């Protein structure tokens, strides 16, 4: 079946978290938390750079996921792709200036049949993101559904 031989494939990417990108992100969320936007406030707390909100993981994980979408084997399935769900587990905080390395691995693939009898394929992709010090900042699980024809 198309896509069966991609289980275990690994996709990697690097992302540098900039203060400007964090500011853009929290502006869209209308989040006024000074831990994300006020350099002087954060500096007065611990001398460091502003934090990225936890949901910023969607930004730094995306480049690794893009490699999956453009994989010649998987890209044939993308026209029928529906985002199932995603789940993140946070470890070390991410801050402006961090360099995040993300590894996405296609971990599992199975089928489900809906009430109309269409067989949908489900892919589970696990991500692990680490900072420049090798500390894990986030692990994630993406569930992607390929609609049956």
The topology (CATH level 3) of 4-146 is Thiol Ester Dehydrase; Chain A (3.10.129)
Calculate mean pLDDT across residues 22-40.
Answer: 95
Calculate mean pLDDT across residues 72-84.
Answer: 92
Calculate mean pLDDT across residues 112-117.
Answer: 92
How far apart CA 117 and CA 120 sit, in angstroms, is 9
Is the confidence at residue 52, as pLDDT, over 90? yes
Calculate mean pLDDT across residues 99-117.
Answer: 95
For the chain, give me the number of helices (H) and strands (E)?
4, 5
Share above pLDDT 90 across residues of the chain, in percent, rounded to a whole number: 93
- The residue ranges of every structural domain in the chain are 4-146
Higher pLDDT, 82 or 4: 82
- Per-residue model confidence (pLDDT) at position 149: 79
- Per-residue model confidence (pLDDT) at position 4: 67
How far apart CA 140 and CA 127 sit, in angstroms, is 5
Q: Which residues contact 11 (CB under 8 A, 6 or more apart)?
A: 64, 65, 67, 68, 71, 103, 104, 105
Calculate mean pLDDT across residues 61-71.
Answer: 95
How far apart CA 75 and CA 71 sit, in angstroms, is 6
List the alpha helices (DSSP H) in the chain: 19-29, 34-37, 39-46, 57-69
Closest alpha carbon to 39 in 77, 95, 113, 120: 95
3-state percent breakdown (helix, strand, coil) of the chain, nearest 5: 30, 40, 30
Share above pLDDT 70 across residues of the chain, in percent, rounded to a whole number: 97
């Amino acid at each position: 079946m198309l896509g069966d031989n991609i289980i275990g494939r690994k996709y990697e990417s690097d992302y540098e978290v900039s203060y400007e990108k964090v500011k853009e992100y929290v502006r869209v969320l209308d989040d006024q938390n000074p831990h994300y936007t006020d350099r002087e406030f954060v500096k007065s707390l611990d001398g460091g750079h502003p934090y990225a909100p936890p949901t910023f993981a969607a930004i730094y994980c995306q480049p690794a996921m893009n490699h999956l979408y453009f994989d010649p084997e998987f890209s044939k399935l993308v026209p029928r792709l529906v985002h199932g769900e995603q789940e993140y587990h946070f470890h070390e905080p991410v801050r402006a200036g961090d360099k995040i390395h993300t590894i996405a691995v296609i971990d599992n693939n199975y089928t489900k049949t809906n009430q109309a009898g269409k067989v949908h394929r489900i892919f589970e992709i696990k991500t692990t993101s680490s900072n420049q010090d090798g500390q894990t900042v986030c692990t994630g699980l993406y569930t992607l559904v390929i609609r049956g024809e």
